[in-house]
Amino acid sequence: MASALHNLSGYDPAKVPDGSGWTIGVVVSEWNDEVTGALLAGVCDTLQKHGVEKGSIIVKTVPGSFELVYASAAMIEDTCVDAVIALGCVIRGDTPHFDYICQGVTQGLTELNARADVPVIYGLLTCDNMQQAQDRCGGACGNKGVECAVAALKMIAFRKEL
For 5-48, the pLDDT digits (tens) are: 678 888 999 999 999 999 999 999 999 999 999 999 999 999 99
Q: Please, are residues 63 and 4 in contact by the beta-carbon 8 Å criterion?
A: no
User: Taking each helix axis from N to C terminus, what angle separates 68-78 and 97-115, rounded to the nearest 10 degrees?
Assistant: 20
CATH of domain 28-157: 3.40.50.960
Residues with catalytic roles:
97
**CA–CA distance, 48 with 36 (Å, rounded to integer):** 18
The predicted model gives 152-161 an average pLDDT of 97
pTM of the model: 0.95
Counting residues of the chain whose pLDDT is more than 90, the rounded percentage is: 90
As a whole number of angstroms, the longest Cα–Cα distance in the chain is: 46
Cα separation values, 28 from 20, 58, 64, 67, 122, Å? 23, 11, 8, 9, 11
Phi, psi of 141 (to 5 degrees): -100, 0
**pLDDT grade for 160, boundaries at 50, 70 and 90:** very high
